[in-house]
Amino acid sequence: MRLALTIIILPIVLLALASAAMLVLPAPNFIFFQLGIAAQEWAPWFLLVLLVSLGLLFGFAPPSGLARLLNRLVGFGAMLSFFVIAGMLVRGLMTDLRVRSNQPTVVAAGPGTFQLSQFGLGNPAPQGLLREQNTVYAEVAGEALLVDVYVPPTTPINAPALIVVHGGSWRGGAKGDIPAWNRWATGQGYVVFDVSYRLAPQAQFPAAVSDVKCAIGYVRRNAERFGIDPQRLGLVGRSAGAQLVLIAAYSDATIAPSCDAPDTSVRAVVSYYAPTRLDYYNVIKPELAPGALDDYLGGPPEAHAEAYRQARPANWVGQNTPATLLLHGGRDQFIRPLDADVLADALEQANRPFTMIELPLANHGFDFNLNGVSNQQVQPYVAQFLAEALQ
């Protein structure tokens, strides 16, 4: 019985060891990368499971022999994992965020304080509702583009709206990847449209940007039906989707919408860890998303210089650029934090409203746990930024 207990706990400890290692080491592939995200943003659950495992291992240790040796080795692995994860959790909570901004009220809103009750039980604030799912907002090149619509708990009247665009290296992912964020935003009074777009390599740049602009047109055409103020629109994107919303928000008629959308202007854009430099020869971990830029932009920059130029948000920054919030992890293994700084430099030089928040120990995808360690720190900035830009 005691040996069987050790064998049952062994895979749990091995998983915890691998996850803990990814908090301090580069991820060799996408699976290990995801383990690192889980160990950081769900750290309290990891620590609880490891504590229970340690109690069982040492409370029911075999009296002698090889079984006892295995028990001790597994226990040592559990302790090592516990201290690494706990240490990184404490460092993450104690390390100051790096903030660049010309929006004093946004800066003053944060950072948020991590609350264990919110982590375990969720956000007690009112949450929005999924009103429509898989509605076709346009048909482009024979493909149906879909949208999920989330609405506030009370009937919206002249409410601001947010269009959410998913990530996935431009060739994967799907709308609805973080429904908890959509419900949080609708609980704040926004109507949220979580949209799909055409994926690479079948549809290369700027097709997906054109689809985002098409979605803006759809929202404006249906403003009355959803109780929206058509002049108070914002875009929210993650990873590749963040690059799409930045270009959709910044670019002019050179990149046309893929459907009838005479006005594609927005007042705010929120970018979670966007690739903005699209540095073909200087990516951090190309094995995490091999060939993504080739699929999206057609090949290397030498052969597709104009596509790369148009796909870099900083090249579009001008006097009409909307307010921008840039969120990035300092340990992002997909996209260097430099990408956020480069765009912040351009926004600062153009004197456009912006805020850039870097979480020194956070990785790519830190917001996938809405109530996780990192996202609780940045959520007050997001709330204040949207409230100010879409007032």
CATH number at residue 295: 3.40.50.1820
Closest to 219 measured CA to CA, from 153, 140, 127, 135: 135
Tokens of 116: 């264990």
Q: Verify that 46 and 160 share a domain, yes or no.
A: no
Let me know: does 218 contact 211? Beta carbons within 8 Å. Answer: no
Cis before 11 (ω within 30):
no
- Same domain? 88 vs 143: no
The region that residue 129 occupies, defined by phi over 0 for left and psi between -120 and 50 for alpha, beta otherwise, is beta
Instruction: Determine the pLDDT at residue 36.
Output: 94
Based on the fold, state whether residues 371 and 288 are members of the same structural domain: yes
Q: Residue 63, Cα to own-chain centre: how many angstroms?
A: 49
Residues 191 and 220 in one domain: yes
Domain match, 47 and 66 both = yes
User: How far, in Å, CA of 98 to CA of 104, rounded?
Assistant: 14
**CA 8 to CA 386: how far, in whole Å?**
48
CA separation for the pair 211, 259 (Å, rounded): 8
Token pair for residue 165?
A: 């665009």
C-alpha torsion 297→170→27→340, nearest 10 = 80
Q: Which of 94, 109, 133 is the last residue of a domain?
A: 94
Last residue of a domain, one of 44, 69, 94: 94
* Tokens encoding 105: 């009220």
Same domain, 122 and 46: no
For residues 36 and 116, state if they share a domain: no
- pLDDT at position 3: 82
Where in the sequence is the domain holding 22, given as residue range(s)?
Answer: 2-94
Query: Can you give the pLDDT at residue 289?
Result: 80
Q: Does 349 share its domain with 332? A: yes
Q: Are residues 83 and 193 in the same domain?
A: no
| 83 shares its domain with 106 | no
Residues 150 and 292 reside in one and the same domain: yes
* Domain edge (last residue) among 60, 94, 128: 94
List Cα–Cα distances, 387 to 110, 113, 233, 370, 382, in angstroms. Answer: 14, 20, 12, 19, 8
Same domain flag for 90 and 121: no
What does the alpha-carbon distance between residue 197 and residue 208 come to, in Å, rounded to a whole number?
6
> Mean pLDDT for each consecutive 10-residue tract of the chain (391 residues)?
84 96 91 94 96 90 83 93 96 95 97 94 89 96 97 92 97 94 96 98 97 98 96 97 98 96 97 94 72 93 96 97 98 93 98 97 95 96 98 88
Number of domains into which the chain is organized: 2
